[in-house]
Amino acid sequence: MTLSNHRRVQSIRPVPKGWISHIHPQGWVYFNHPKIRVVTNDDIRTPKVLETVENYIETYPFCNLLDGMELLVPHDPQPNEHTFTLVVNHNLFMAGYDVTDVISIEGMDADHVNKRRRMYWNHLERHPNHVLLPPNAEKEARDALAWYHLDNLRSGTRSTVPFSTQECENLLAAISQISSDNSPGRTVFISWVLRVIWSFRITECYGQDTHRRWSERYADRVPTGPLPNAPLSPYIQIPLNFVISAIFFSIPRSYLKHIKVAGQYHGRLSTAQVIWDQYTSRIVKEYQDFLLIATVLLSATVGLLAVPDIQSTSRAVGIVSVFASMGSMITGVFCLWRHQTSVKQSESYTYLHNAHHGVFGPIGHAMFLSLPPVLLVWGIIAFAIGFIAYTVQGLLGISGTTGQRAAAWVALTISLFMLIVVGLGLYIFDGMWKPKRDRSQRVTRAGRPLP
């Protein structure tokens, strides 16, 4: 392949005769000898290094190389030691450590072809100055990126392709902007994209499986739901379920689902980061709402305690409501601060690992996460009990006139009715997310006709 002069860079130090020095866009220097078709990363401007490379070259069987091939000499080469010499075939876009691996693709299985292609683009990415980018490289990169873009749109977070939707759009736009360029930077860019593509194809067994076999492997690899719970002993599970249902109002179960979803790995780090960002955003938003409600509840409870002639029952329950509200606020502020500041991907790995493998496990972690809403609910219940107790004072004749007792009866009746309505609404609303089967579905599934 012919090169323009701007791809060759004059070295500051003298270069031995026949050798050409090149400066990679990243900044490092490498050398090639066009006549004997050799590339090296060692500094041959040093006489001792040059002697070592030349002694090695004299022992290599160049007669086995075809047109369009070249060698990448390993670091500190030794004569007759050719195991780590990379043979590059620019005509077939393949590279390997044996000449027979890159002479032809006839009879070669798809896995070997994929690996040879990845090695070739890795070589071209690191040594882009002395050869031109193959003419079909840009089209190959565009086709792959177009498919990855479609797969992201179809599969969403289940997609395992190496680039996200935004990354595909940015890469395609960048390729279009430099399509008329012939610089080493363009060669590095396209080669890097193709190296990532062929690395992904190796993991996907590209060109090897039928559609049926590929679908089976994909179904086994990609998670379709939350991770299963770790088995617990019945002696632990039964009282734990009682505590979660009776004391924590089943709130930890919602957080447990969030933890499991956030801990899933879909095959791409960018997707894991997106899921982690969604998880922390949800937690932060919920805790902000809980803090607002707890602040209002605390003010209302303090106002109730300041009412004259309030009895001991109302006062005691009101104090419980105050401490529950304060507990919700304290835990909420701390959890809000920690989840809002821990945004790095490395921090998410530590968090999720500790959540799944900690002393209390994911269920215990979910219970701790649910403390702000649970304490808030208990604060609201205590406030309601305290307010009802204050209303009952008039009914028991502890204080107030007959008219006041009648008003207290009316207020109590309305309050009880509202409590019943609220409880019924909560029950119905909670059942909206639970799957149910009516009689017709059961009969249909059983294979019997309706009467």
**Structural contact between residues 366 and 256, judged by C-beta atoms closer than 8 angstroms:** yes
Residue where the block lists tokens 């401007």: 45
Handedness of CA 73, 79, 83, 84 (dihedral sign): negative
Side chain identity, residue 401? T
Could you tell me the mean pLDDT of each successive run of 10 residues in the chain, 451 residues long?
Answer: 53 83 94 94 93 92 89 89 90 92 89 94 95 93 95 83 90 91 92 95 89 79 54 76 90 90 70 82 92 94 87 88 94 90 75 80 90 94 86 60 64 74 72 60 46 43
**Radius of gyration over alpha carbons of the chain, in Å?**
35
Calpha distance 70→129 (Å, rounded): 14
Handedness of CA 380, 381, 382, 387 (dihedral sign): positive
Give pLDDT, residue 291: 94
The two three-digit tokens of residue 41, written as one number: 């990363």
- SS3 readout for the chain: CCCCHHHCCCCCCCCCCCCEEEECCCCCEEEEECCCCEEECCCCCCHHHHHHHHHHHHCCCHHHCCCCEEEEECCCCCCCCCCCCEEEECCCCEEECCHHHCCCCCCCCHHHHHHHHHHHHHHHHHCCCCCCCCCCHHHHHHHHHHHHHHHHHHHHHHCCCCCCHHHHHHHHHHHHHCCCCCCHHHHHHHHHHHHHHHHHHHHCCCCCCCHHHHHHHHHHHCCCCCCCCCCCCHHHHHHHHHHHHHHCCCHHHHHHHHHHHHCCCCCCHHHHHHHHHHHHHHHHHHHHHHHHHHHHHHHHHHHHHCCCCCCHHHHHHHHHHHHHHHHHHHHHHHHHHHHHHCCCHHHHHHHHHHHHHCCCHHHHHHHHHCHHHHHHHHHHHHHHHHHHHHHHHHHCCCCCCHHHHHHHHHHHHHHHHHHHHHHHHHHHHHHCCCCCCCHHHHHHHHCCCCC
Residue where the block lists tokens 């006549």: 35
Residues with Cβ within 8 Å of 450's Cβ and at least 6 positions away in sequence, in order, are 440, 443, 444
Give pLDDT, residue 450: 42
Give pLDDT, residue 342: 72
Q: What does the pLDDT look like over 131-183, one tens digit per residue?
A: 999 989 999 999 999 999 999 898 877 788 888 888 999 999 999 999 888 89
Give pLDDT, residue 440: 46
The two three-digit tokens of residue 381, written as one number: 């219940």
So where are the chain's domains?
Answer: 5-203, 252-399
Give pLDDT, residue 209: 86
The two three-digit tokens of residue 52, written as one number: 């070592």
Q: Which residues pair with 20 in a beta bridge?
A: 32
Q: What percent of the chain has pLDDT over 70?
A: 82
Kindly compute the dihedral angle of the four CA atoms of residues 297, 303, 306, 312, in this order, to the nearest 10 degrees.
Answer: -40
From residue 170, how far is each of 34, 50, 146, 150, 175 by CA, in Å?
Answer: 36, 43, 12, 14, 9
Q: Order across the sheet with 69-73: list the strands.
A: 20-23, 29-33, 38-40, 69-73, 86-89, 94-96
Give pLDDT, residue 267: 59
Q: Measured in whole angstroms, how far is the alpha carbon of residue 429 from the centre of its chain? A: 32
Side chain identity, residue 165? T
Give pLDDT, residue 46: 92
Q: What does the pLDDT look like over 21-48, one tens digit per residue?
A: 999 999 999 999 999 999 999 999 999 9
Contacts of the segment 17-20: beta carbons below 8 A, 24+ positions apart = 19/44, 20/130
Give pLDDT, residue 429: 66
Q: What does the pLDDT look like over 378-431, one tens digit per residue?
A: 999 999 888 888 777 656 654 555 666 676 677 667 767 777 877 777 677 666
Side chain identity, residue 240? L
- Nearest CA among 43, 15, 46 for reference residue 30: 43
Side chain identity, residue 356? H
**Structural contact between residues 86 and 77, judged by C-beta atoms closer than 8 angstroms:** no
**Structural contact between residues 69 and 96, judged by C-beta atoms closer than 8 angstroms:** no
Q: What is the mean pLDDT of the chain?
A: 83
